[in-house]
Amino acid sequence: MTRLLVTGGAGFIGSNFVHYVVENTEYDVTVLDALTYAGNRESLAGLPESRVRLVEGDITDAELVDGLTAEADAVVHYAAESHNDNSLHSPRPFLDTNIIGTYTLLEAARKHRTRFHHISTDEVYGDLELDDPERFTEQTPYNPSSPYSSTKAGSDLLVRAWGRSFGVEATISNCSNNYGPYQHVEKFIPRQITNVIRGIRPKLYGAGENVRDWIHANDHSSAVLTILEKGRIGETYLIGADGERNNKEVVELILQEMGQPRDAYDHVTDRAGHDLRYAIDSTKLRTELGWTPQFADFESGLAATIAWYRDNESWWAPSKDRTEAFYASKGQ
């Protein structure tokens, strides 16, 4: 492999992957991104133009996707509508991007016999009870609970079907919640960090007992590259860094790290159908492919993330006021 097509590569997780690839390999990268509100060409700023090309376009555009796939040795499919709140207010874009977009890419990969790696989420498995000692594994049945997670589950099944029925050389990874640079301020961790920077009290859904298994975006990127290069075709790998924290703990850690009282936040009405707990068992990835995370300590990764948002206000400021106005209209 020398040429990668990365869909959604101007978004949060995708842009971190592009940076990681440029810094750690000699691959050339074409990014296909619709540059919706969640995509930002500035997230790719500073990368060498000789190795990274940004194409603005939609993954449902069959002609465009076909041409770009024909030029690539592998497709790494990050592009997705991914915000749970948005999926509850307006589900249709999630169907268009996550289902039809994935189908369009799979058809191109099938035609050109292109290696395909699909990025998914642990939310396809539903949630676990707060006192349940179990964690998600590759054998956990799907049980999605939102329009977002349902469409991601559907896209996973399409990838498996195209592998079995048409021989597409595909792998899938389901990852836990990411945090790190270039994440839109609508998301939980950057919203709280940027609120504190702006002098706004952070907001916490309900009692804040919901648990997420956090992983730094750099660790997600290293895992995806490992699967792309070493993973067995047709297999699914779960990516996690043993970063379970409840939302209350995360907010309080952010406040503490930023020199504020740990209780300087407000509770707001909980999200409808808010999943209780996600937890990833990444044993297969670690034992079969030898992957380990760099940020095994959540606190150190969080401190690095806070520093990035402090140093890069020009990146997030343009969308901050609009995001907070939207949440305020929902009482959140």
**248-283 in b/e burial notation, b at 16+ Cβ within 10 A?**
bebbbbbbebbeeeeeebeeeeebeeebebbbbbbe
| Mean pLDDT on 113-117 | 98
Each residue of 263-316: pLDDT tens digit?
Answer: 999 998 877 777 789 999 999 999 999 999 999 899 999 999 999 999 999 999
d(CA 122, CA 107): 25
d(CA 150, CA 161): 17
Q: Which of 58, 122, 127, 252 is catalytic?
A: 122
Q: Which of 20, 148, 205, 278 is catalytic?
A: 148
| Lookup result for tokens 């555009």 | 61
Q: Give the tokens for residue 52.
A: 């990274």
- Catalytic annotation on 179? no
Each residue of 123-144: pLDDT tens digit?
Answer: 999 989 888 889 999 999 999 9
Each residue of 6-28: pLDDT tens digit?
Answer: 999 999 999 999 999 999 999 99
Q: In a 3-state reduction of DSSP, which class is residue 106?
A: helix
- Catalytic annotation on 28? no
Q: Which of 123, 127, 281, 324 is catalytic?
A: 123
Entry pTM = 0.93
Q: In a 3-state reduction of DSSP, which class is residue 146?
A: coil
Q: At what angle do helices 247-257 and 188-198 cross, to 10 degrees?
A: 40
Quick one: pLDDT at residue 332? 67
d(CA 201, CA 74): 44
Contact 326, 248 (CB under 8 A): no
Indicate the fold that domain 3-178+214-239 takes in CATH. Answer: Rossmann fold (3.40.50)
Q: Give the tokens for residue 261.
A: 């009282």
d(CA 289, CA 282): 11
d(CA 298, CA 229): 27
Contact 177, 308 (CB under 8 A): no
Closest to 152 (Cα-Cα) out of 135, 136, 174: 174
| Mean pLDDT on 222-235 | 98
User: In Å, what is the CA distance from 298 to each residue of 67, 154, 290, 315?
Assistant: 41, 31, 21, 24
pLDDT of residue 326 exceeding 90, the answer is no
- Catalytic annotation on 123? yes
Q: What is the sign of the dihedral through the CA atoms of 178, 182, 184 and 185?
A: positive
| Lookup result for tokens 């990050």 | 78
**Bridging pattern class, strands 244-246 and 211-216:** antiparallel
Closest to 84 (Cα-Cα) out of 171, 196, 173, 210: 210
d(CA 330, CA 332): 5
Quick one: pLDDT at residue 202? 93
pLDDT of residue 331 exceeding 90, the answer is no
d(CA 223, CA 285): 8
What are the extents of the domains in the chain?
Answer: 3-178+214-239
pLDDT-derived band of residue 148, with 50, 70 and 90 as boundaries? very high
Each residue of 45-86: pLDDT tens digit?
Answer: 999 999 999 999 999 999 999 999 999 999 999 999 876 777
Quick one: pLDDT at residue 236? 98
d(CA 299, CA 179): 12
Each residue of 149-202: pLDDT tens digit?
Answer: 999 999 999 999 999 999 999 999 999 999 999 999 989 999 999 999 999 999
d(CA 26, CA 235): 26
